[in-house]
Amino acid sequence: MENRTEVRCFILVGLTNDPSLQLPLSITFLLIYIITLIGNLGLILMILLDSRLHTPMYIFLGNLSLVDFCYSSTVTPKVIAGFLTGDKIMSYNACASQMFFFANFGDVENYLLASMAYDRYVAVCKPLHYATTMTTHMCASLVIGCYICGFLSASIYTMDALSLSFCESNVIHHFFCDVLAVMIVSCSDSHVNELILIYVVSFNMFFALIIILISYMFIFTNILKIHSSAGYHKAVSTCASHFTAVSIFYGTIIFMYLQPSSSHTMDTDKIASVFYTMVICMLNPLVYSLRSKDVKSAFTKIVLRSK
């Protein structure tokens, strides 16, 4: 890499240069990060400790919580440290690492949500075959496949961005090393690289979205055929949390990456980035926990046991 670039470090502009906002923002992001850690690690702990949660749905949910924890930890601590110390410099290698792990965990979450949609499809549309379809081997294969896809995609994104030369400016107008923000400061012609990024991101997103949409098409069709009120509400509650998480995740990502380049403004991108790097990771465990009787029961059991 050093033979291709004269840049040894990058300077992150951050969210704002207003000194009066530094402390309030650092406190806000610290609280979000603490809630994210407690929510995701707490959910993982409950799933591990309660045997009733050793089911395919909660295996996926446990991995989703692990990914959210890692996803947030890739960006948030550095942002908080930047607010508190004023240090906005990130080395070339640190920037490359942050870019890789952020893309990796983002793509793993993308495919985990698709796997969870398939799991919900089998649970609602083929309940009698659920145990034989969603076996431990099947769950493990899907989860491992999600991590492999994330690793391969992140490798493409990172190599695509860092194959460019950085010689005129090292100032990144963002609060973390996002692929798009890094490409903008390159002194090379990045048109081909941007196309590669768009094609790979689009493939990953739309492949996962197609699985999700087809799954929910069958789910909604099946729900409409249910005549009993109890059966209807049970089917809806089975999918409500996942549908909410999917809507939040893909709504933000589509807004961020698939709008025309002429519509991009760094301020808008920063706001959207705060939402999908920090807020979504905090919301996911809350969305699933508040709607799951099994999680509430497991939490109550652990609290009573600790007394």
Residue ranges making up the domain that contains 86: 9-306
Give a yes or no: residue 270 inside a domain: yes
pTM equals 0.87
Q: Is residue 163 assigned to a domain?
A: yes
Whether residue 1 lies inside any domain: the answer is no
**What token pair was written down for 104?**
């990796």
**3-class SS of residue 263:** helix
Residue 291 lies in a domain: yes
pLDDT tens for residues 185-216? Answer: 888 788 888 888 889 988 998 899 999 999 99
Report residues of the chain scoring pLDDT below 70. 1-6, 231, 234-235, 238, 255-269, 290-296, 298-307
* 3-state helix, strand and coil shares in percent for the chain, rounded to the nearest 5: 80, 5, 20
Structural domains of the chain, count: 1
**Does residue 148 lie within any of the structural domains?**
yes
Residue 299 maps to a domain: yes
**Which tens digits make up the pLDDT trace of 118-130?**
999 998 888 889 9
Residue 264, CA distances (Å) to 181, 205, 210 in order: 11, 19, 26
Q: Which one-letter DSSP state was computed for residue 171?
A: E
Q: What one-letter code names the amino acid at 27?
A: I
From residue 246, alpha-carbon distances to 235, 261, 284 in Å are 17, 25, 10
Give the pLDDT confidence score for residue 5 in this predicted structure: 46
Amino acid at 168: E
Q: Answer yes or no: is 4 within a domain.
A: no
Closest CA to 71 of 299, 275, 286: 275
Question: Which spans in 225-279 are helix H?
Answer: 229-257, 266-274
- Which residue in this structure is represented by tokens 């890692």? 70
The position carrying tokens 């929510």 is 39
Counting beta carbons within 10 angstroms of the beta carbon of residue 247, is it exposed (0 to 12), middle (13 to 18) or buried (19 or more)? exposed
Burial of 102 (0-12, 13-18, 19+ CB in 10 A): buried
CATH number at residue 55: 1.20.1070.10
